[in-house]
A and B are shown apart, each in its own frame.
Chain A
Amino acid sequence: MPETKVSFPHLGSYCVPIEYLFTRGVGVDYVTPPPITRRTLEIGSRYSPDTVCAPFKYNLGNYIETIEAGANTLVQTGGVCRLGYYGELHEQILRDLGYKVRFVNMARASYSNPASFYSEFLSINPDLSLKRVAAVLTLVLKMVEHIDAFESYMRNNVGFECEEGSFDRLHQDFLASLSAVESHKELSAISKLYMRRLKELPINRPKNPLRVGIIGEYYTIMEPFSNHFMEKSLARMGIAVDRWINISNTLLHNPSKKVITHIKDYAKYDMGATAMFSIDKALEFAKKHYDGIIHVKSFGCTPEIDAMTVLQNISNDYKIPILYFSFDSQTSETGIQTRLEAFYDMIVMRKEDRK
């Protein structure tokens, strides 16, 4: 058996803590998938069922590109929508394509029984130390929270940076420095340092900037390539962008019980995956008088389609415009740019009118 080289598909900047978890915790080599490009999506789409949601295609593209880069053990997670079936289908497709890799499908483990995760990890490295995995995992979860906090501030302010690229550069440095931390203490010191440097970056933020909230489906909202770097486009227009969906808020501090009470006037039953979060946050953005909301999802994402009719009610009641985007494997920028520019013009004119 050759040396184990693990890989997990990309999701925003989370490849950094994931790599940390596998190398430091599970004690195996990790291959970070090559950055997502058009080719990733092309090969992912070529071997995927046409009507499957776009994240499946991206994940498959990541798998094939990491196998090319030397990975031999692929990990997939479970989920509460079609995501729960991804692993099984990915594994089958990769086998049919003739790739000889080990596939570890965490969908087989269950959240109600944490020990079942342990046995999945054990299949990656039989010499695994439970104590070490547990210790590293708590560090990794903290790391995720620090990354999320950094990016949250960044999203809201990068549109006003005085020097173009200053936020991005610091962000890259921050992520790079994380892999070297050895303890909770170091992690907290490094994160504090970078957070301070981030807040010291000169910005030219107007008193009342345009504010746009982003809501939508889990993957498309968090993987910038899959939403055509929408947050970046909005920032370039001089908009303060907010989004609540990230790993910290959804997985580590999941508020689902509160969500149900927040939105009881609009929806009674959980429609699965991120649908309730989308409704809850749309309502919150509306109540806070944001200038607009953008809803993103992969084409055919059922929970988010269900949420959309409710979002229209919120849009009508609070008179807040909501722009809807559905992404598949198309890569043309023109249509997206046209809609975003029109959205920008609209919120600018609405704001001037209110004055």
Chain B
Amino acid sequence: MKAYLGIDVGSISTKGVVIDSKNAILASEYLWTEGDPMGAVRRLLKALASQLEGKDVQVAAVGTTGSARKLTGAMTDAQVVKNEITAHAIGTTSLYPDVRTIFEIGGQDSKIILVENGIVVDYAMNTLCAAGTGSFLSSQARRLGVQVEEFGEIALTSQHPTPIAARCTVFAESDLVHKAQIGHKKEDIIAGLCKAVVTNYLNNVGKGKKIAPPIVFQGGVSKNVGVKKAFEDATGFPVTVDPNGHLTGALGVAILARKSGKEQPFSFGVADMDFVTRGVECGKCSNRCEIICVYQNGRLIDSWGNRCENGAIRAAK
């Protein structure tokens, strides 16, 4: 059976799916990137290969997305390398064709995507500031001595969420410490944090955007029921979280790989190959571009990072 592989390597987590020609998921995996995208992809490929063992599946095209899409694309010789905004939109509309608004909060970034008749009509992504993203929530959870996975459930038990300043992560943190020290209950503070994340999101990423239902909420933070509820309270609309919401980026790019019409048999054996990257500083002008060279088993397969032709390093293909 022909299949398509989609890989989404984010700052915090790495996701992968293998789908058939009807977009049904044959295998999927979710693991931590741990600052080592190439290692994460290798582990991901091994996990997917073992899930597919014994099945007659041949991956015909590969797509990569997420902030390490280029590196991953070079490793897997991908047919499609796509930004995560498009990938998420494609993935979500394949599951929810009527969706109008997609909220997405990941480890380091957050975005809003507006859809009309299955077409992206507007989007925005956080700039300059990571306030209210997943990594902020996990660091606050640590401060409060709570597992971030339990955050949502605890938030739901609160009767009186503590108001927390939402404008900026640093301010939110000092506000949180202050509220804890004067005796606010932990569940109230946690519920307040969930609300703060939503307020921050709607004021920054969602600023000026018309939010219409149906709304789908995805990305790592969507697993937090406290944030989901805060979104419902703030918008007045029900918010859907798909059980596979963390996989939509990978799913979207797998679909794009399938639709690309470009096919080339892919072997999971890539996971056993040796990949090394090397950063070289180009000295040809004072831009001093950092050029990244990717080597597969000692052979240069790709390079990027140069701003002009003078710094181009060509891979022998």
Is this pair of chains taken from one and the same complex? yes
Of all chain B residues, the one with the shortest Cβ separation from A42 is B286
Q: Which stretch in B15-23, B42-50, B123-131 binds the other chain?
A: B123-131
In the bound complex, what is the Cα–Cα distance between A321 and B115 (angstroms)? 12
**Interface hit among A24-32, A187-195, A247-255, A332-340:** A332-340
B85 contacts A342, C-beta separation under 8 Å? yes
Please count how many residues in chain A sit with their CB below 8 Å of the partner chain's CB atoms: 29
Which residues of A approach B to under 8 Å, CB–CB? 37-40, 299, 308-309, 312, 315-316, 319, 321, 324-326, 328, 330, 334-335, 337-339, 341-342, 345-346, 349-350, 353
Q: List A contacts of B119 (CB < 8 A).
A: 349-350, 353
Give the most central of A315, A328, A342: most B CB within 10 Å. A342
Residues of B within 8 A of A339 (CB): 83, 85, 125
Q: B125 and A349: CB pair below 8 A?
A: no
B83/A342 in contact, CB under 8 A: yes
A319 to B210, CA, bound (A): 12
Q: Which of A326, A334, A353 contacts B67 (CB 8 A)?
A: A334
Q: Are A346 and B86 in contact (CB under 8 A)?
A: yes
Interface flags for B112-134 (1: CB within 8 Å of A; 0: not) read 00000101111111011000000
Query: Is residue B285 within 8 Å, beta carbon to beta carbon, of the partner chain?
Result: yes
* Docked-complex contact A338 and B288, CB < 8 angstroms: no
Q: Are B210 and A316 in contact (CB under 8 A)?
A: yes
Q: Is the beta-carbon distance between A37 and B285 smaller than 8 angstroms?
A: yes
Within 8 Å CB of A38, what residues of B?
A: 286-288
14 chain-A/chain-B pairs, Cβ below 8 angstroms: A38-B286, A308-B208, A312-B208, A315-B208, A325-B127, A326-B128, A328-B128, A341-B83, A342-B123, A346-B121, A346-B123, A349-B119, A349-B120, A350-B120
A39 to chain B, nearest CB (A): 4
Instruction: Judge whether A346 and B83 touch: CB under 8 Å.
Output: no
Determine which of A309, A319, A338 lies in contact with B125 in the assembled complex, contact meaning CB atoms within 8 Å: A338
Q: Which residues of B contact A315 (CB under 8 A)?
A: 122, 208
- Identify the closest chain B residue to A164 (Cβ): B309
Closest to A342 in B: B85
- B187, CB-defined interface residue at 8 Å: no
List of A residues within 8 angstroms of B84 by Cβ: 338
Min CB distance B181 to A, Å, is: 31
* Chain B min CB distance to A134 (Å): 39
Q: How far is the CA of A346 from the CA of B117 in the complex (A)?
A: 13
B285-301 CB mask vs A (1 if < 8 Å, else 0) is: 11110000000000000
- Residues on B with C-beta less than 8 A from A308 are 208
Complex interface residues of chain B between 73 and 122 (CB less than 8 A to chain A): 82-86, 117, 119-122
Given A37-B286, A315-B122: A326 in contact with B83 (beta carbons within 8 A): no
CB <8 Å contact, B83 and A345? yes
Complex formed: what's the CA distance from A324 to B128 in Å? Answer: 13
The 10 closest A-B pairs by CB, nearest first: A342-B85, A312-B208, A345-B86, A341-B83, A39-B286, A37-B286, A346-B120, A37-B287, A338-B83, A353-B119
Q: How far in angstroms is the closest Cβ of chain B from A167? A: 15
Other-chain residue from A319, A325, A326 in contact with B121 (beta carbon distance below 8 A): A319
Among the listed A37, A321, A341, A353, which residue makes an inter-chain contact with B117, where contact means beta carbons less than 8 Å apart? A353
Question: Which residues of chain A are within 8 angstroms of B288 by Cβ–Cβ distance?
Answer: 38-39
B117 touches A335 (CB 8 A): no
| Apart from A315-B122, A338-B83, A339-B83, 9 more pairs, CB < 8 Å | A299-B128, A308-B208, A312-B208, A324-B124, A334-B67, A342-B86, A342-B125, A346-B120, A350-B119
- In angstroms, Cα B86 to Cα A338, docked, is 10
Contact B127 A321 (CB under 8 A): no
Q: Which chain B residues lie closer than 8 Å to A37 at the CB level?
A: 285-287
In whole angstroms, how far apart are the Cα atoms of A38 and B124 in the complex? Answer: 27
> In the docked arrangement, what's the CA distance between A236 and B305, Å?
17
B121 touches A350 (CB 8 A): yes
* Chain A nearest CB, measured from B185 CB (Å): 38
Question: What is the chain A residue whose CB lies nearest that of B208?
Answer: A312
For B85, give the chain A residue with the smallest CB separation: A342
Tell me the complex Cα distance, A38–B290, Å: 12
B210-246 vs A, CB cutoff 8 Å, 1 = contact: the mask equals: 1000000000000000000000000000000000000
